[in-house]
Amino acid sequence: MRRFEGKVALITGASRGIGRGIALCLAEEGADIVINYRSHADEARQVAEEVQRLGSRALVWQADVADMAAVAAMVAGAVEHFGHLDIVVANAASHKRAALIESNWEDDRHTFEVSMFGVMHTCKFGAQQLVRQVQSGRPGGKIIIIGSLHQETAFHRYSAYNMSKAAISHLGRTLAAELLPYRINVNMINPGWIDTPGERAMFGDQYIDEGHRFCPWGRLGTPRDIGKAVAYLASDDADYVTGATLLVDGGMKLTAAAVSEQ
C-alpha cells in the first residue's frame, strides 16, 4: 500500500535516528522526502539513496532549525523543487544531560533553540505553506511534532529538555486549533526510549543493549516504530484526528519512575 503517492514530506533531523526511520517509512509508501540535516551530511546522503531505492525522490537540505531564516529558506526550497508540500514533521532535537542546578546556560539555551524554537520555526513556515496551498485549492496537509515521554514524566537531569518537550506539546495543540478552519491536521507523537545513535553516544552501547531490562515491552523502541506512527497520522486514515498526542513507548510511562532513577 502506497498511501503517500504524489505527496511530499519534509522531515527535520532526518539524517539518522528517529528522523531517518520516519523518512524511510513515508518513502516506502510513496512520499517524496525532504531530508533536513544540520551536521551529518554523509548520513543524510545515505538516507537519500535509500529513499531513492524505495522508488521515491529525495532532496537533501542542510539547515539548522534554530535559525529561523534557514528554516524559511528550506521550506521555500522544498516547494520550489517539488512544487508543493503535504507533510511536515518537526523532529529535530538536541539536549545535554544535567540537573538544573548543575547545568550551564549555553547548553540549556542550545536545547531551547533546537528542541523548542526549532520546532516552532518548522511549524510556522510549514503551516504558512500549507495554508497558502489550501487557499489555492489544494487539500489541507499534515503537521506532526515529535515530542517525548519527557513531556509527561519528570525524568531527572533533563530539566531544559523536559521543559522544551512540554512547551512544544502545547504549541501543537494551539496550532491545531488555529488551523481548524483550513482542515490542516496537527498532532504530536511522544516516543519512549528509542534505540538511536544519539542514545548510544550518550549512554554507551552496553547500556543500550541491556536497556531491555528496564522496558516493560522487553525491548527498546526503534526509529521504525515511530516512523509507522507518523505514517498513520500523516495518512487519510487520521483525517479526523487533530490536536492529539500519540504515546509510542511500549508501556514505559507505566514504569517511568524506576527508569528515571537509573
Catalytically active residues are: 161
Q: Give dist(CA 53, CA 65) in Å, integer.
A: 27
Q: Give dist(CA 169, CA 188) in Å, integer.
A: 7
Q: What stretches of the chain show up as alpha helix (H) in DSSP?
A: 17-28, 41-53, 68-82, 105-111, 118-135, 159-178, 197-203, 205-209, 223-234, 256-260
Q: Give dist(CA 62, CA 145) in Å, integer.
A: 20
Q: Give dist(CA 14, CA 34) in Å, integer.
A: 8
Write the CA distances from 114 to 29, 119, 170, 255, integer angstroms.
29, 7, 17, 28
First to last CA, the chain: 42
